[in-house]
Amino acid sequence: MLDGVSFVAAHNMSFDKSVLRKTCESYDIKCPSFKEVCTVNLSRQLYPELINHKLNTVCAHLNIKLDHHNALSDALACAEIAILGIKEGLI
């Protein structure tokens, strides 16, 4: 499932991680471990002035193209936010 994955970024990591954990439990498989970053929390650090830190709000602020709730588009947007966090030394 996530063999070889060492880093995961998600917008609201706590939700995604709970889904992953519950899915692993349902299939009686070991939940993988990886370094993680929540891009909601990261965007709060980077852009505290935003009215909210929803993915579409952050992307609009950063001029990141987003087809909201399209899995690939959301993932690419999270990656771009994570890269900004790396550049700022927050990750």
Q: For position 90, what pLDDT does the model report?
A: 86
Which residues form the domain of 75? 7-87
Say how far apart CA 9 and CA 50 lie, in whole Å: 20
Look at residue 1 and tell me if it is in a domain: no
Q: What is the CATH number of the domain that holds 14?
A: 3.30.420.10
Q: How does pLDDT run across 34-89, given as a tens digit for each residue? A: 999 999 999 999 999 999 999 999 999 999 999 999 999 999 999 999 999 999 88
CA nearest to 77, candidates 30, 11, 27, 19? 11
Region for residue 74 given its phi and psi (left: phi exceeds 0; alpha: psi -120 to 50; beta: otherwise) = alpha
Query: Into how many domains does the chain fold?
Result: 1
In a domain, 2, yes or no: no
The set of residues, in sequence order, having a beta carbon less than 8 Å from that of 87 and lying 6+ positions away, is none
pLDDT at 1 > cutoff 80 = no
Q: In sequence order, what E strands does 1-91 have? A: 7-10, 35-38
pLDDT exceeds cutoff 80 at 3: no
